Copies of this chain bind each other. A is one copy, B any other.
Amino acid sequence: MDFTLSDEQRMIYEYGKSLVKQFDRAYWVEKARQRAFPAEMYQQAADDGFVGMMVDEKYGGAGLGMLEMALLQEGLSNEGIPLLSLIVGATMSMSLISDHGTEEQKQAYLPGACRGDIRFCFAVTEADAGTNTINVTSLTRSVKDKGRYVLNGRKTFITDAECAEYMIVVTRSTPLKEAQRKTDGFTLVLIDTKVAGIEVHPIDISIEVPEDKYTVFFDDVDVGPENIIGEVDRGFEILFESLNPERIIISAVCCGLGRYALNRAVEYANERVVFNGPIGAYQALQHPLARGKTEIEMASLMMRKAAWLFDRGEPCGSESNMAKYASSEAGIYAVDAALQCFGGNGFTKEYGIFDIYPIVRLFRTAPLNSEMVLNYIAERDLGLPRSY
Contacts and interface: CB of A to CB of B under 8 A. Distances in A.
Interface of A: 1-5, 9, 67, 125, 129-131, 156-157, 203-207, 262, 266, 269-270, 273-278, 280-287, 289-291, 293-295, 297-299, 301-302, 304-305, 308-309, 322, 325-326, 339-340, 343-344, 346-350, 352, 354-355, 357-358, 361-362, 364-366, 369-371, 374-375, 377-378, 381-388
The DSSP consensus for interface residues of chain A is: helix
Contact of A205 (B4, B304, B349, B370): B349
Among A286, A322, A354, A361: residue with most chain B CB under 10 A: A286
A88 to B, nearest CB: 14
Contacts of A383: 266, 270
Nearest to A381: B293
A284 B347 contact: no
A354 B157 CA distance: 16
Given A365-B340, A382-B266, A387 B283 contact: yes
A84 to B, nearest CB: 14
A268 B378 CA distance: 14
Contact of A266 (B3, B287, B295, B384): B384
Contact of A385 (B280, B295, B352): B280
Contacts of A283: 282-284, 287, 371, 374-375, 387-388
